[in-house]
């Protein structure tokens, strides 16, 4: 193996162009760490926010980036069983700091707790498109909301990888998904992907349409990464004693708390991140749930577009265009 490798880092926060290919010495895994020869990277909105200095974690410059990689373990550190060498794995977000262990690179060094095997029937590209989307959806819909047959579930940003995972998960559990998208451009594709209903907010009143779909009851569960002014409409569309799960902050505007609607309906408006799930004892159960449904093909990671490693800046720009339906993947 070469004595140097290309690792993507940024030396200042800002637009996609701040990502640089730094030629660095081949890193060795430390205690309780493994090194992965990376074959594919799955991009996430969190990494764009991190690069911009707008994420929950503050970058320590020069900072690495990237949560999801799939590849083959080629070295292990002290305390790690050598039988891991040669195994195909992917990395699990929420289990490491991006600045230190970000996976954008020809190799990635991550803690042993951050890796997971996945069904051998999946490609490297699919392997890099699993954990952020399915674990995020699991934590909100299964662990916290406990969705069940007949529940109405509103899913905003429905064309994102997490949104599509939530549509699949709702179907598996017998719930009724109401996908929300801004324009009609993605409506037909969302229906083909399994959404039971699609609301186009540029053309329809969200609360009125949900009221019509649910025969006036409202949706018991809302799964939203946007925040901002839409929260008021979502609260209006939520059922009595329903739960609104906010797992992101994509809106540029402030997020007003819908106090009177929450009071009148006894709503729960709850913040949630994947970090909460990965720190809990339910984490192993969540991974098992995802793997079982991947193996049965009830869950099928949808890859929108792939880019070569040399074009990772273009991949970030594409993510910021919001044109994708599903996952953006970078291949090595």
Residue 2 has pLDDT above 90, yes or no: no
In a domain, 293, yes or no: no
Mean pLDDT confidence for 27-39: 98
Q: How many domains would you assign to the chain?
A: 2
- Among the residues of the chain, which ranges form H helices? 45-51, 98-101, 124-127, 131-137, 161-172, 187-192, 206-213, 230-237, 259-265, 274-278, 283-295, 312-321
Confidence of residue 197 (pLDDT cuts 50, 70, 90): very high
Same-domain pairing of 144 and 260: yes
> Average of pLDDT values for 89-111?
97
Q: Does residue 55 register a pLDDT over 90? A: yes
Evaluate whether residue 285 is within a structural domain: no
**Does residue 136 sit in the same domain as residue 126?**
no
235 and 176 in a single domain? The answer is yes
d(CA 37, CA 241): 48
Q: Tell me: the pLDDT tens digits for 63-91?
A: 999 999 999 999 999 999 999 999 999 99
Residue 281 domain-assigned?
A: no
Rounded CA-CA distance 126/90 in Å is 10
User: Is the pLDDT at 30 greater than 90, yes or no?
Assistant: yes
- Out of 276, 292, 319, a domain closes at 276
Q: What average pLDDT score do residues 80-109 get? A: 97
Can you give the CATH number for the domain in which 99 is found? 3.90.180.10
Answer yes or no: is pLDDT of 175 > 80: yes
The average confidence (pLDDT) of the chain is 97
> Above 80 in pLDDT, residue 58?
yes
pLDDT in tens, 107-130: 999 999 999 999 999 999 999 999
Q: Are residues 110 and 27 part of one domain?
A: yes
Is 95 a domain residue? yes
Distance between CA atoms of residues 180 and 295, nearest Å: 28
Same domain, 125 and 139: no
CATH value at residue 254? 3.40.50.720
170 pLDDT higher than 80: yes
Does 234 reside within a domain? Answer: yes
Structural domain includes residue 286: no
- 241-261 mean pLDDT: 96
Residue 106: inside a domain, yes or no? yes
- Let me know whether 238 and 142 are in one domain: yes
pLDDT band at residue 303 under the 50/70/90 scheme: very high
Q: Assign 237 to helix, strand or coil.
A: helix
> Which of 92, 125, 123 has its CA nearest to residue 110?
92
% of the chain surpassing 70 pLDDT: 100
Residue 282 lies in a domain: no
Q: Check if the beta carbon of residue 325 is closer than 8 Å to that of residue 159.
A: yes
110 and 158 housed in the same domain: no
72: phi > 0 → left, psi -120 to 50 → alpha, else beta; which? Answer: beta
Place of tokens 């069940």: 148
Are residues 79 and 26 part of one domain?
A: yes
d(CA 318, CA 33): 32
- Predicted TM-score (pTM) of the model is 0.96
Q: What is the mean pLDDT of residues 213-230?
A: 97
- Cβ neighbours for 286, distance < 8 A, ≥ 6 positions apart: 135, 138, 139, 142, 143, 277
pLDDT above 80 (res 154): yes
Same domain for 33 and 114, yes or no, is: yes
Q: What is the DSSP string of 284-300?
A: HHHHHHHHHHHHTTSS-
Give, in degrees to the nearest 5, the angle at Cα 323 between 318 and 327: 70
| Predicted local confidence at residue 102, as pLDDT | 98
Predicted local distance difference test score (pLDDT) of residue 220: 98
Q: Structural domain of residue 84, as residue ranges? A: 4-130+301-331
pLDDT in tens, 316-331: 999 999 999 999 999 9
């Amino acid at each position: 193996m070469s004595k140097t490798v290309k690792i993507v880092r940024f030396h200042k926060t800002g637009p996609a162009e701040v990502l640089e290919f730094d030629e660095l010495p081949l890193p060795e895994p430390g205690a309780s760490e493994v090194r992965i020869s990376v074959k594919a990277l799955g991009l996430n909105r969190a990494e764009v926010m991190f690069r911009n200095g707008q994420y929950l974690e503050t970058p320590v410059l020069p900072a690495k980036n990237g949560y999801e990689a799939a590849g083959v373990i080629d070295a292990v550190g002290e305390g790690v069983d050598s039988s891991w060498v040669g195994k195909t794995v992917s990395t699990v977000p929420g289990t490491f700091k991006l600045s230190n262990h970000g996976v954008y690179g020809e190799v990635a060094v991550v803690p042993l707790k951050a890796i997971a095997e996945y069904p051998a029937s999946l490609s490297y590209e699919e392997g890099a498109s699993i954990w952020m989307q399915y674990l995020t959806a699991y934590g909100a819909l299964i662990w916290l909301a406990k969705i069940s047959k007949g529940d109405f579930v509103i899913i905003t940003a429905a064309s994102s990888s997490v949104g599509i995972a939530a549509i699949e998960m709702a179907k598996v559990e017998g719930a009724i998904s109401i996908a929300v998208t801004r324009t009609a451009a993605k409506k037909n594709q969302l229906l083909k992907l399994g959404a039971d209903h699609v609301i186009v907010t540029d053309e329809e009143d969200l609360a009125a349409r949900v009221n019509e779909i649910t025969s006036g009851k409202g949706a018991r569960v809302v799964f939203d990464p946007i925040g901002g002014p839409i929260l008021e409409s979502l609260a209006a569309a939520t059922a009595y004693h329903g739960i609104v799960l906010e797992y992101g902050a994509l809106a540029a505007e402030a997020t007003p708390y819908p106090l009177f609607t929450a009071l009148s309906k006894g709503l729960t408006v709850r913040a949630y991140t994947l970090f909460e799930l990965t720190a809990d004892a339910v984490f192993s159960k969540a991974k098992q749930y995802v793997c079982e449904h991947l193996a049965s093909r009830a869950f099928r990671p949808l890859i929108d577009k792939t880019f070569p490693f040399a074009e990772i800046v273009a991949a970030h720009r594409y993510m910021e265009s919001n044109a994708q339906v599903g996952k953006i993947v970078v291949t090595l």
